């Protein structure tokens, strides 16, 4: 490692020597500044419980998925709780909406059986983009789950309709 780059001993943050500050004696160490954060050096943890705060395009998206109108009307105003447990690349996601519970377990980069909101079970491979985004393509749909601090934004796109759901950590 070059002398002008060090890792902080407790946080693991990358530190770089400031070029404009020179040690005044042979005994004085250089001054270092923090670059980035520990979250940028490793994958953010999705683990937690999240409550649905808002959603856009629920009804048109569910119609595009082929859900019966009575189920769409029953489900449109229900708040859901998502619980995510992450252990390295292995995830368990449990979504509870009213009395309906969907539990999916998958490992990043490996094919897994996933249950959709319609109850249909399909094979899918979930990939991680960056350190905060889970992405998969299933049955002509793209699903993206993005973690931003204590907020999860879940987007599912089928054709020209995108369902967007925003949940906050509780």
| Whether 91 contacts 85, CB under 8 Å | yes
Question: Mean pLDDT over all residues of the chain?
Answer: 80
CATH superfamily of 48-169: Calycin beta-barrel core domain (2.40.128.20)
Q: What is the pLDDT of residue 137?
A: 93
Buried b (16+ CB within 10 A) or exposed e, 100-135: eebebebebeeebebebbeeeeeebbbeeeeebebb
Using one digit for the tens of pLDDT, what is the confidence trace for 7-56? Answer: 444 444 444 444 443 444 443 444 333 343 333 335 579 999 999 999 99
Q: Which residues in the chain land under pLDDT 50?
A: 1-41
pTM: 0.71
Q: Enumerate the domain spans of the chain.
A: 5-41, 48-169
The rounded distance, in Å, linking the Cα atoms of 156 and 83 is: 18
């Amino acid at each position: 490692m070059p002398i002008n780059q060090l890792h902080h001993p407790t946080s693991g943050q990358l530190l770089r020597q400031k070029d404009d500050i020179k040690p005044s004696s042979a005994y004085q160490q250089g001054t270092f500044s923090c670059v980035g954060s520990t979250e940028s050096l490793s994958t953010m943890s999705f683990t937690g419980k999240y409550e649905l705060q808002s959603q856009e395009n629920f009804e048109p998206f569910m119609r595009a998925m082929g859900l019966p109108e009575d189920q769409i009307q029953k489900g449109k105003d229900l708040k859901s709780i998502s619980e995510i447990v992450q252990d390295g690349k292995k995830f368990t996601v449990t979504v509870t909406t009213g009395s309906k519970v969907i539990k999916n377990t998958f490992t990043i980069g490996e094919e897994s059986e996933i249950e959709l909101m319609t109850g249909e079970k399909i094979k899918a491979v979930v990939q991680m983009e960056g350190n905060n985004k889970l992405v998969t393509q299933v049955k002509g749909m793209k699903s993206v789950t993005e973690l931003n601090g204590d907020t999860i934004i879940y987007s599912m796109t089928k054709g020209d309709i995108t369902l967007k759901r925003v949940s906050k950590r509780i």
